[in-house]
Amino acid sequence: MDTLNELHALPEGLLDARADELEALLGGPTLLHLPGRQAEPVFVTVLAHGNEATGLTALQQLLHDYRDAVLPRALSVFIGNVAAARQGVRRLEGQADYNRVWPGTTAPGVPEALLMQQVVTRMQARAPFASIDIHNNTGINPHYACINRLDNRFLQLAALFSRTVVYFIRPRGVQSMAMAGLCPAVTIECGKPDQEYGARHARDFLDAVLRLHEFPQHAVAAHDVDLFHTVASVHVPENVSFGFGEEPVDLQLVSNLDHLNFRELPAGTLLGRLSGGLGTPLEVRDENDRPVFARYFTVADGALRSTRAFMPSMFTLDTRIIRQDCLGYLMERLLPEQQRRTPGAPF
C-alpha cells in the first residue's frame, strides 16, 4: 500500500516538475497544506489519474502567481497517482482506480481505499470550504463541471467553472462524492491534457474559489446553467472485441464516436455494427446498477442504434481507457421542475 506523505510547506522543485517526475520528487501520494488569509481551505485533487496532468499545471501556474503573496485562502492539495504519472497512464495494471476508491466505494478493502480514507480524515479535521477534483478526458468534450448533490451551494460552485453541469450518483467511490459530506464539492473536466486552455481555465477557477468568502444560498438562474443528469454508464464486456476501423471484431463502433459527446442524439442514431451471432454487445447500467441495455439501444440487421433520445458524455476512442473504465455515459437534460424529484437530491 502507498503511504500518505503529508507536507506543510511547498517542496523544492514542485512548481517546475513534470507529472512524470513527481514520484521521484515526492516519493508517493502527497497531501500538501499551504496557509492563506482565510483559514478554511480549498481542497484540490490533481493526478487522480496519472495521464491527466492539467490539474498539476493549473496548480503550478496558480502558485507561481502567488509566489510573493499570501494566498487568499488556505489551500490543501492531494497529489494522487504519481506512480501512474511516471508512466503517463491512467493507472498501473493491477492498481485500483484512484477515483473509484474514496469513502463510499464498492471496493472498501483495497489498499488504495485505505489511502483515500486517510485523506478524507485529514481534511475533515480542517473543515474545508470547498473541494475541487481536476480531471481531463480523452474524447471530444466541452469543459464542464460535475456535482453529486443538487444543492444551491454545489450548483453555484459548478457554475463558476462552466454553464454545463452534470449531476451523477454513479460511479461510487469518486472524490467529489466523498467530499460532498464535508463541503460543496465539484469535479471539473478540462478537456484533453495537452490543451493549454484547459490549464488556464482550471487555474482561473481555483483562483476565483480561493477568493470567495461564502457561497450564495440562492439558486443559480435557470438561464445561467445547462444541467444534465447521468442516467447510465456504458461498458464493453470483456468477451466482446471492438474497434473503430476496418479490423474484424465483434463490435465495430462508428469512427467518430467521440464527436457525439454533448450532442442530443435522436432515437435511431447509428452507433456501430455487429458481426454475426453476437447478442448484447454492450453492458449498460443505470444509476441503481440495473441492466438497461434495451432502454437505450437496439440491434437490428447487424446495426446498433439508439432507441430513445439521449446525450452521451466521455465517449472515447481510447481502447485502453474503455477497458480500464468505460465507453462513456448517457445523460438526459434535467429541467428545474425535475430537480426535486431526482434520486439522491437532498431536498
> Within this chain, do residues 68 and 215 fall inside the same structural domain, yes or no?
yes
338 grid coordinates: 425535475
The pLDDT assigned to 337 comes to: 57
Q: How far is residue 327's CA from residue 251's CA, in Å, rounded to a whole number? A: 13
User: pLDDT digits over 288-338, tens only?
Assistant: 999 999 999 999 999 999 999 999 999 999 999 999 999 999 999 997 656
- Backbone dihedral angles phi then psi of residue 80, each to the nearest 5 degrees: -85, -105
Residue 346 lies in a domain: no
The pLDDT assigned to 150 comes to: 96
Kindly give the pairing relationship between strand 303-306 and strand 270-274.
Answer: antiparallel
> Within this chain, do residues 200 and 241 fall inside the same structural domain, yes or no?
no
Cβ(177)–Cβ(102) below 8 Å: yes
Residue 301 lies in a domain: yes
The pLDDT assigned to 151 comes to: 96
> Within this chain, do residues 39 and 177 fall inside the same structural domain, yes or no?
yes
> Within this chain, do residues 72 and 149 fall inside the same structural domain, yes or no?
yes
Residue 108 lies in a domain: yes
Exposure on the CB side of residue 55, measured as CA atoms within 13 A: 26
Model pTM score: 0.95
Show the low-confidence residues of the chain (pLDDT under 50).
343, 345-347
> Within this chain, do residues 244 and 273 fall inside the same structural domain, yes or no?
yes
Q: Is the dihedral of CA 133, 139, 143, 144 positive or negative?
A: negative
Where does a domain end: 224, 244, 277?
A: 224
- With b for 16 or more beta-carbon neighbours within 10 A and e for fewer, the 111-141 pattern comes to ebbebbbebbebbeeeebbbbbbbbbbbbbb
Residue in the structure block whose three cell numbers are 454475426: 276
- Backbone dihedral angles phi then psi of residue 45, each to the nearest 5 degrees: -110, 130
Residue 338 lies in a domain: no
Residue 167 lies in a domain: yes
> Within this chain, do residues 112 and 219 fall inside the same structural domain, yes or no?
yes
The pLDDT assigned to 120 comes to: 98
The pLDDT assigned to 235 comes to: 98
Structural domain containing residue 168: 5-224
The pLDDT assigned to 347 comes to: 31
Residue 95 lies in a domain: yes
> Within this chain, do residues 47 and 129 fall inside the same structural domain, yes or no?
yes
**Closest C-alpha to 4, from 136, 88, 108, 119:** 119
Q: How far is residue 302's CA from residue 116's CA, in Å, rounded to a whole number? A: 44
| Strand (E) or helix (H) holding 79 | strand 71-79
The pLDDT assigned to 346 comes to: 42
Cβ(172)–Cβ(138) below 8 Å: no
SS (H, E, C) 199-250: HHHHHHHHHHHHCCCCCCCCCCCHHHCEEEEEEEEEECCCCCCEECCCCCCC
Mean pLDDT score of the chain, rounded to an integer?
A: 95
The pLDDT assigned to 336 comes to: 63
Burial zone of 314 (CB within 10 Å; 0-12 exposed, 13-18 middle, 19+ buried): buried
Residue 184 lies in a domain: yes
The pLDDT assigned to 1 comes to: 58
Residue 341 lies in a domain: no
Q: Quick check: helix, strand or coil at residue 23?
A: helix
Burial zone of 204 (CB within 10 Å; 0-12 exposed, 13-18 middle, 19+ buried): middle
> Within this chain, do residues 200 and 244 fall inside the same structural domain, yes or no?
no
> Within this chain, do residues 216 and 308 fall inside the same structural domain, yes or no?
no
- Backbone dihedral angles phi then psi of residue 190, each to the nearest 5 degrees: -110, 30
The pLDDT assigned to 340 comes to: 54
> Within this chain, do residues 105 and 122 fall inside the same structural domain, yes or no?
yes
> Within this chain, do residues 32 and 127 fall inside the same structural domain, yes or no?
yes
CATH number of residue 155's parent domain: 3.40.630.10
The pLDDT assigned to 339 comes to: 60
Where does a domain end: 201, 224, 247?
A: 224
The amino acid at 306: S
> Within this chain, do residues 169 and 299 fall inside the same structural domain, yes or no?
no
Q: What is the dihedral of CA 250, 261, 231, 244, to 10 degrees?
A: 10
Domain count, the chain: 2
